[in-house]
């Protein structure tokens, strides 16, 4: 009887241990499967975050490069504008200096001589502001007479500050040698040269 009881106890222990081992293995398998699932999800999320960070970084780098390029363009434009203003100021000072000297009379005579050489020019009118006409009228007329340039009329016109304008064929042909016009022409010419030099330096 005792032997049967001992066998029964041993059988119960054996069955309990096997059941516990089976249950433990099931728990371990479930835990492993859950861990694999979590690791896989974490890897997917990490890959996603890395891809987003990379895209954001590329976007930031491109935005920075674009901003640098734009800043460079703005700086160059600002520099060109500054140089143009400076050139115009320098050209204006030089033109004003020449036009306020006795050289103005010689320029008028030279321009008239050039215009008079054209057969279609006809009578020529030279327009000067009142102050310059009063200062240079006698000198200009004497030079024109010495060069036998007839049919030239000197007139006052205060619509411009310095320099002169020439009108031929009763105003049909007109050229502007005023200080403002000559300054603009010189500035445009010099500005184009500076722009070309700046483009070579880029």
Give me the residue spans of the domains in the chain. Answer: 1-202
Model pLDDT for residues 154-178, shown as the tens digit of each residue:
999 988 889 999 887 666 677 899 9
**Assigned token pair, 142:** 């004497």
Q: What is the mean pLDDT of residues 133-144?
A: 90
Tell me how far apart the alpha carbons of residues 102 and 162 are, in angstroms, rounded to a whole number. 13
pLDDT at residue 164 in the model: 93
Dihedral through CA 5, CA 10, CA 16, CA 21, nearest 10?
-170
Residue 201 confidence class, pLDDT cut points 50, 70, 90: low
Give the count of beta carbons closer than 10 Å to the beta carbon of residue 86: 12
Q: What is the mean pLDDT of residues 15-43?
A: 75
Model pLDDT for residues 47-106, shown as the tens digit of each residue:
887 888 788 888 888 888 888 888 888 887 787 788 888 888 888 888 888 888 889 999
Highest-confidence range of 4-18, 25-39, 103-117, by mean pLDDT? 103-117
What is the 8-class DSSP label of residue 118?
S
More confident position, 15 or 127: 127
pLDDT at residue 87 in the model: 83
- Output the pTM of the full model: 0.59
Whether the pLDDT of residue 188 is over 70: the answer is yes
Whether the pLDDT of residue 5 is over 80: the answer is no
Q: What is the mean pLDDT of residues 171-195?
A: 84
Contact 160, 178 (CB under 8 A): yes
Domain boundaries 1-202, CATH class: alpha beta
pLDDT at residue 71 in the model: 86
Model pLDDT for residues 108-126, shown as the tens digit of each residue:
999 888 887 776 667 888 9
Angle of CA points 112, 114, 119, to nearest 5°: 100
């Amino acid at each position: 009887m005792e032997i049967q009881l001992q066998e029964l106890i041993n059988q119960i222990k054996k069955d309990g241990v096997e059941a516990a081992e089976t249950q433990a293995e099931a728990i371990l398998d479930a835990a492993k499967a859950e861990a694999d699932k979590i690791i896989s999800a974490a890897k997917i999320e990490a890959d996603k975050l890395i891809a987003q960070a990379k895209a954001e970084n590329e976007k930031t780098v491109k935005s920075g490069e674009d901003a640098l390029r734009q800043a460079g363009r703005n700086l160059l434009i600002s520099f060109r504008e500054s140089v143009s203003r400076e050139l115009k100021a320098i050209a204006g000072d030089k033109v004003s200096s020449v036009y306020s000297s006795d050289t103005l009379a010689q320029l008028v005579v030279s321009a008239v001589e050039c215009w008079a050489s054209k057969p279609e020019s006809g009578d020529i009118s030279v327009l000067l502001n009142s102050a310059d006409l009063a200062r240079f009228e006698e000198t200009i007329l004497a030079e024109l007479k010495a060069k036998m340039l007839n049919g030239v009329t000197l007139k006052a016109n205060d619509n411009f500050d310095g320099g002169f304008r020439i009108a031929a064929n009763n105003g049909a042909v007109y050229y502007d040698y005023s200080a403002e016009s000559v300054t603009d022409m010189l500035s445009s010419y010099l500005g184009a040269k500076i722009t070309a030099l700046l483009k070579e330096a880029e």
